[in-house]
Amino acid sequence: MRILLTQFIILIIVGVISVGLNSVVHAQTIEELQQKITSQTSAIQKLEKEIAQYEGDLVTLASKKKTLSNAIATLEATRKKLETDIRLTQTKVDTTDLKIRQLGSEIIYKEDEISDRKAALKEALLSMYESDKQSLAQIALSNGSFSELWNDLETLEMFSSQVTENVVLIKSLKADLEIKNKAKEAEKGKLLGLKSNLGDQKKITEDNKKQTTALLTQTKNKESEYQKTLSQKLAQKDALEKELREYESTLKFILDPSSIPPRGTKVFSSPLDKIFITQQFGKTSDSGRLYASGTHNGTDFRASVGTPVKAMLSGVVMGVGDTDQFLGCYSYGKWVLVKHSNGLASLYAHFSLIKVSAGQSVNTGEVLGLSGNTGYSEGPHLHLTVFASKAVEIVRLGDVKKATNCAKAPMPVAALNAYLDPMDYL
């Protein structure tokens, strides 16, 4: 009996020591990875500050007079911002990879500890089984004194509590292991998203370089040519808007208030992480200056090129388009229209890159694309329009009336009373 108990004590001690050694080895690896993660986190913060500085520069440039030099400076600041975006995303990719490796080390440590504890538990149970073969009388007779018997009984009780302790610990370790595995899978999903973002950012950075080259080619690097181009674009935009307004005024739609959420009902989440309104819906001084009708059919938000634009509510993509594909059509540029189940539809315009397709179901907060400066735009921003969904349709103006340069460009249209103020629902 004493031999069995002594062997068991040795086994328990060996089991605990082996766990301790594994812990030291893995702790060193985990600590090294954590140091690298901390360093990467510091680099991320520096890059975010740099991006904020470029965004501030872009805001300042947007407030200045529209000149060729300012247009080039804006493209240059945008390029630097986009390149920093790429560096930031790459750093986040590297950091996420480190976190996955760190979690992997922690998982291995937990698995080793569980294995060691299971081995210790097995030996404890075997020893208790062997002890149980002897009756209390046999144990008493095998001892030379009552004190020795008492010591053996105390040791058996200790072994019983050791078994309980190991069972509880194994359960706890398994619960921790499950949490670590879930965290690792979440980080893997984040890594895939970051790598996708990296590819998107590289695309729009290349587009930015092409825009700079095109601007210099079109204007021959002359201010007079630039101002002439601006005037032509404004005239073509005004012609389209007038034509669109005339067509939409002929559309008949009776808006049933019960078919849409009441004004002031905050049914939409924000389409951007940071909200700053640059132009309100309806008749404003800006709408009178920028739009022939004197009415702005949506709300504009500040958004530098490459900013993720998110669906404000789940729904189905009714359509996507790009008016820039049609020469002289200065309108929404790259746009996305989403129909929601609550009687509303939302239009997002001036994207640099679209991430969804017609017919696709989207969830609240899902990225629809990256903001930009496509179409007729005096600077990078997000244009948001909200419709009564029953009234909006996608048409080619050339199919319904004599049209301007946008005759073949598909775009959303609706009766004038179907346009709603986005801020009523945000």
Q: Please give the average per-residue pLDDT across 378-385, as a whole number.
A: 92
Domain assignment present for residue 230? The answer is yes
User: How far is CA 350 from its chain centroid?
Assistant: 20
Q: In this structure, are 177 and 229 located in the same domain?
A: no
199 shares its domain with 261: no
* pLDDT exceeds cutoff 70 at 122: yes
Q: Do residues 160 and 38 share a domain?
A: yes
Q: How far is CA 316 from the centre of its chain?
A: 19
Rounded Cα–Cα distance for residues 111 and 23 (Å):
11
Q: pTM above the 0.85 mark?
A: no
Are both 331 and 375 inside the same structural domain? yes
Residues 234 and 203 in one domain: no
DSSP 296: B
Domain containing 157: what range?
2-212
Choose between 319 and 398: higher pLDDT.
319
| Final residue in a domain of this structure, among 153, 181, 212 | 212
Whether residue 403 is contained in a domain is answered as: yes
Give the pLDDT band of residue 143 (cuts 50, 70, 90). Answer: low
Confidence of residue 175 (pLDDT cuts 50, 70, 90): confident
Q: Is the confidence at residue 399, as pLDDT, over 70?
A: yes
Vertex 49: Cα angle to 334 and 88 (nearest 5)? 60
285, 366 contact by CB (below 8 A)? no
Share above pLDDT 90 across residues of the chain, in percent, rounded to a whole number? 52
| Digit-coded pLDDT (tens) for 59-92 | 999 888 889 999 999 999 999 999 999 999 999 9
Provide the CATH number for the domain around residue 343: 2.70.70.10
Q: Is the pLDDT of residue 11 over 60?
A: no
Rounded CA-CA distance 213/222 in Å is 14
What is the C-alpha separation between 46 and 85, in angstroms, rounded?
A: 12
Cα 22 to Cα 75: distance, rounded to the nearest angstrom: 55
Task: Select from 188, 212, 236 the last residue of a domain.
Answer: 212
Query: Quick one: how far is CA 224 from the chain centroid?
Result: 43
pLDDT band at 125 (very low <50, low <70, confident <90, very high): low
State the pLDDT confidence band at 28, using cuts at 50, 70 and 90: low
The per-residue pLDDT of the chain, averaged, comes to: 83
Strands (E), 260-418: 277-279, 299-302, 308-310, 315-322, 334-339, 344-354, 361-362, 367-371, 381-388, 393-396, 410-413
Which CATH number do you get for residue 38? 1.10.287
* pLDDT band at residue 241 using 50, 70 and 90 as cut-offs: confident
Specify whether 115 is located in the same domain as 163: yes
Could you give the CA distance from residue 194 to residue 381 in angstroms, rounded to a whole number? 23
H or E, element range at 349: strand 344-354
Domain boundary among 165, 181, 212: 212
The predicted structure's pLDDT at residue 163:
66
Q: Quick one: 43 and 191 in the same domain?
A: yes
Same domain, 262 and 289: yes
Residue 138 in this model has a pLDDT that exceeds 60 = no
- 171 against 208, higher pLDDT: 208
Count of domains in the chain? 2
Residue 217 covered by a domain: no
Q: Are residues 92 and 173 in the same domain?
A: yes
Summarised one tens digit per residue, pLDDT across range 324-381 is 999 889 999 999 999 999 999 999 999 999 999 999 999 999 999 999 999 998 889 9
Task: Classify residue 120: in a domain, yes or no.
Answer: yes
